Structures are given as C-alpha cells and as structure tokens.
C-alpha cells in the first residue's frame, strides 16, 4: 500500500489532483483509513492512473474519464475513447477554419458588398423545423435537408433556411430548412409551412462558410447605414453549396435579414417572430 505522496511520485499526478480524482470517483484509493482519512493506493492502480493522466491530457471531462476507466467492457471503453477522439478531430477542424478565417480578417481586402432591399411575399414551402443547440446545427441541418430531398418530388429553386437569432444569444434556437415545391408534402418531419412576408436586406456570401460572419457584419453595417434595424430570424438561401460543387470558393449563399425602418417598426412581433 502506498501513501498518496508515494503514489504521486510514481504516477506524476500531484497529490492535490489525486485527491480530486478520488472525490470525483475517478480513481478511488484501494484503501481509505476510516479513522484518519488517509488514502492508500495499490501498485496495481498505477496503470489506471496513467490512463487517466493521458485522458486528461486530451481534455476528456472528468465525468467521461470516470465512465471510461469504470467500464469493465474493453469494447465500451474503446468506443468511448473513439468518441472523444472524434470530438478532438472536429475541434481541430474548427480550429483550422478559425485560423484561416483569422488570416483573412487580418489581411483585409475591402471588397464592397452589394446589398439589395427586397420585399418577399409570404410563401408556403416544404419545411423541417425544430429547436436545435448551436453545436448540433451542422448535423441537424444535414439530416433535415436529406429528409427534405427524399420526399419533395419537384423542388423549385434553391434550398434555404431560417435561423433564430437566439441560436447565437442562448446557444440554441429555432431552425427551419425548406424547399419550395408545387405541392409541399406532409411526410415524416417534413410538412408544409408558411413563411411570412418580410422586407429583407439581401447580400450574397461568396465562398465557404468559415467567413460568413464577415458578410453578416457587412450586411449589418449596411443595415445601420440605411437607418434600418433587423427584426427576426435571418434567412439563408443556398444558391450554390456543397450539394452542387466540392469547390468551396464557388459557393454562393444568399443572406436575407428581415429589416424595418427605425421609427416605424414592423407591426409584427420582432423578437419572438415564428420562423
């Protein structure tokens, strides 16, 4: 039996950290003296401590580490680890995108943006909608769009989506993706939905979505400069997207933001607008 200090020396985990891992149930000492509270570890626990050490180096949350080292089945263990490695990979992709975008932000080429004010009538479309967390947006979008494509017989024009501003404010919000169709079906999650008539400030973003914030910002500047304010879920239309070409630089995304004139706002509710 090893006192905590000795165990610390063998595992290169600090005494403090070992105590935390005990409290968190990650690495329970082989024996705890009930009278004194002294923790005693066995040499067999060293390999476990090393696995925990590595997992923590990979920023696996303590709760997940507990799962992993606690699961008897090596298959479970492997799949839990694989899950986290997948998350790391996704994180890495995001980091790469942020680096690329940052470079472009810091080496700015002031490409002026064409913004158009467009009155859009109400239209009934085939839609899938749900409340979605920001982290899940990409996955949800892919699933919803696939379902739409599967059931909409004669789509018209490019697909689009409506994005609740709360998505960015609260980390989750209402999403709606749609296709225009002559006869919107009602199958599975797909159902007919009516998008309200709005006045949109419309700009077209060119290229991959890494930099789409820039276009949002320029659109915002334009809106302000024209004495307008925004008023509801933003609309995106995927004129050219990954479904059309793998060449991201050719993508075209139309961003339309509902606006109203400051001083004479839209009569409809501007914040809890149904999407």
Partner DNA sequence: CTCCACCCTCCCTCGGGGGGAGAGTCCACG
Partner DNA sequence: CGTGGACTCTCCCCCCGAGGGAGGGTGGAG
Residue 267 interaction partner, one of its own copies, DNA, none, beta carbon < 5-8 Å per kind: DNA
Range list of β-strands (E), 139-251: 155-163, 172-181, 191-195, 198-206, 228-230, 234-240
Closest distance between DNA and the C-beta of residue 193, in Å? Answer: 23
Binding of residue 62 to DNA (CB under 7 A): yes
3-state secondary structure of 197: coil
As a whole number of angstroms, the distance between CA 216 and CA 223 comes to 10
- Report the residue number, 40 or 140, with the smaller CB distance to DNA: 40
Using CB under 8 A as the binding rule, the residues of this chain from 136 to 175 that contact its own copies are 165, 168-170
Binding of residue 189 to DNA (CB under 7 A): no
Residue 108 interaction partner, one of DNA, its own copies, none, beta carbon < 5-8 Å per kind: its own copies
**Of 12-20, 21-29, 136-144, 201-209, which segment contacts its own copies by CB under 8 A?**
12-20
As a whole number of angstroms, the distance between CA 253 and CA 234 comes to 12
Binding of residue 82 to its own copies (CB under 8 A): no
Draw the binding track, 214-253, toward DNA (x: CB under 7 A; -: no contact): ----------------------------------------
At 50, give phi and psi (nearest 5°).
-70, -40
Residue 215 interaction partner, one of DNA, its own copies, none, beta carbon < 5-8 Å per kind: none
**Of 60-68, 113-121, 217-225, 250-258, which segment contacts DNA by CB under 7 A?**
60-68
Total residues interacting with its own copies, rule: CB under 8 A: 53
Residue 133 interaction partner, one of DNA, its own copies, none, beta carbon < 5-8 Å per kind: none
Strands 234-240 and 252-261: antiparallel
Binding of residue 56 to DNA (CB under 7 A): yes
Closest distance between DNA and the C-beta of residue 154, in Å? Answer: 39
Least Cα distance to 236 among 188, 181, 176, 184 occurs for 176
As a whole number of angstroms, the distance between CA 129 and CA 173 comes to 11
Strands 39-41 and 228-230: unpaired
User: Cβ contacts of residue 121 below 8 Å, gap of 6+?
Assistant: 197
Binding of residue 51 to its own copies (CB under 8 A): yes
Sole binder of DNA in the list 43, 46, 63, 98 (CB under 7 A): 63
Kindly state the tokens that stand for 236: 């995106």
- Count Cβ atoms below 10 Å from residue 226 Cβ, excluding itself: 13
Sole binder of DNA in the list 20, 191, 206, 252 (CB under 7 A): 20
As a whole number of angstroms, the distance between CA 76 and CA 168 comes to 35
Binding of residue 224 to its own copies (CB under 8 A): yes
As a whole number of angstroms, the distance between CA 259 and CA 186 comes to 31
Binding of residue 93 to its own copies (CB under 8 A): no
Distances 219 to 32, 63, 134, 251, 256 between C-alpha atoms, Å: 63, 42, 22, 18, 9
Q: Contact residues for DNA (CB under 7 A)?
A: 3-6, 14-17, 19-20, 24, 33, 35-39, 56, 61-63, 170-171, 262-265, 267, 269-272
């Amino acid at each position: 039996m090893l006192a905590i200090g000795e165990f610390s020396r063998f595992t290169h985990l600090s005494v403090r950290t070992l105590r935390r891992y005990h409290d968190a149930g990650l690495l329970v000492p082989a024996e705890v003296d009930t009278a004194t509270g002294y923790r005693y570890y066995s040499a067999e626990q060293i390999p476990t401590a090393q696995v925990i050490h590595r997992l923590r180096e990979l920023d696996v949350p303590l709760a997940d580490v507990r799962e992993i080292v606690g699961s008897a089945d090596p298959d479970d263990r492997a799949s839990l680890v694989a899950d986290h490695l997948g998350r790391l990979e996704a994180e890495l992709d995001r980091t790469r995108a942020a680096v690329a975008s940052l470079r472009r932000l810091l080496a700015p080429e002031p490409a002026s943006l064409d913004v158009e004010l467009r009155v859009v009538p109400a239209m009934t479309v085939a839609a899938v909608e749900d409340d979605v967390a920001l982290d899940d947006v990409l996955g949800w979008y892919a699933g919803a769009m696939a379902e739409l494509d599967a059931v909409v017989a004669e789509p018209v024009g490019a697909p689009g989506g409506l994005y609740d501003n709360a998505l960015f404010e609260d980390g989750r919000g209402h999403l709606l993706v749609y296709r225009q169709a002559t006869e919107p079906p009602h199958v599975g999650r797909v159902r007919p939905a009516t998008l309200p008539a709005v006045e949109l400030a419309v700009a077209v973003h060119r290229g991959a979505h890494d930099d789409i914030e820039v276009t949002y910002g320029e659109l915002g500047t334009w809106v302000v400069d024209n004495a307008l304010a925004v008023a509801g879920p933003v609309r995106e239309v995927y004129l050219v997207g990954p479904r059309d070409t793998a060449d991201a630089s050719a993508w075209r995304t139309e961003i339309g933001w509902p606006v109203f004139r400051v001083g004479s706002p839209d009569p409809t509710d501007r914040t809890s607008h149904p999407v």
